[in-house]
Amino acid sequence: MNILSELHQDHLNLSRLLEMLDRKVECLRDGQHPDFSLMSEVVGYVGRYADLHHHPREDQMYDFFAGRNPTLDQAVTRCLEQHVELKHLSTHLEESIDGILNDVVMPMDRFTDQLDEFVQAEKRHLDFEEQSIFPLLRDIATETDWQQLQDQLPQSDDPLFGTRQADEYRSLYRALMDDLSRPGSDS
């Protein structure tokens, strides 16, 4: 499996979490109150995994191919701008959820809009990479490129979906699996 396949798998895993959050938006719009602790864990995971594992590997891959194709270079510039915006959105959302968990009064419609904005921005970003960047990389990269890149990149085992789950994510994984087995749940 090359780095592009690994990043694609990350995108699939992140999409599962975003779908879970999307259902939370629906619950909130219907006047229900989902489990904010679980929501905090999901948003925290998405932000931390992206910042610590996923984006650094993508950034190194993008650097490796820089200058080979102007269309790719433009797409990568846009992608890196999105990474900054996503970091801002996830940090702001985590602060809001933290406030709710600590009994800070916040209008639920404002929070719901904030959560929805985060989810939609993440989805657009994943779609952009999958549809605009990854195909360009497949077209210009050689097997030698992929091998050199694989040798240079730090290995990363996803602490939630990887072969060795981190202790801090075991309860989140169980909750995710439970949530996914009950579509439309409000947990």
| Tens-level pLDDT at each residue, the chain (187 residues) | 588 988 998 899 889 889 989 988 998 999 998 888 888 888 888 888 888 888 888 999 999 999 999 999 999 999 999 999 999 999 999 999 999 999 998 999 999 999 999 999 999 999 999 999 999 999 999 999 999 998 888 766 655 555 544 455 556 666 665 665 554 444 4
- φ, ψ of residue 89 in degrees (nearest 5): -65, -45
Do the beta carbons of residue 82 and residue 133 sit within 8 Å? Answer: no
Write down the H helix ranges in the chain.
3-29, 36-49, 55-65, 70-101, 108-128, 134-140, 143-152, 167-181
Q: Which residue is associated with the tokens 């994943």? A: 126
Tell me the domains of the chain and their CATH numbers: 3-181 (1.20.120.520)
Closest CA to 149 of 76, 82, 72, 59: 59
Q: What is the pTM of this model?
A: 0.84
Using one digit for the tens of pLDDT, what is the confidence trace for 109-143?
A: 999 999 999 999 999 999 999 999 999 999 999 99
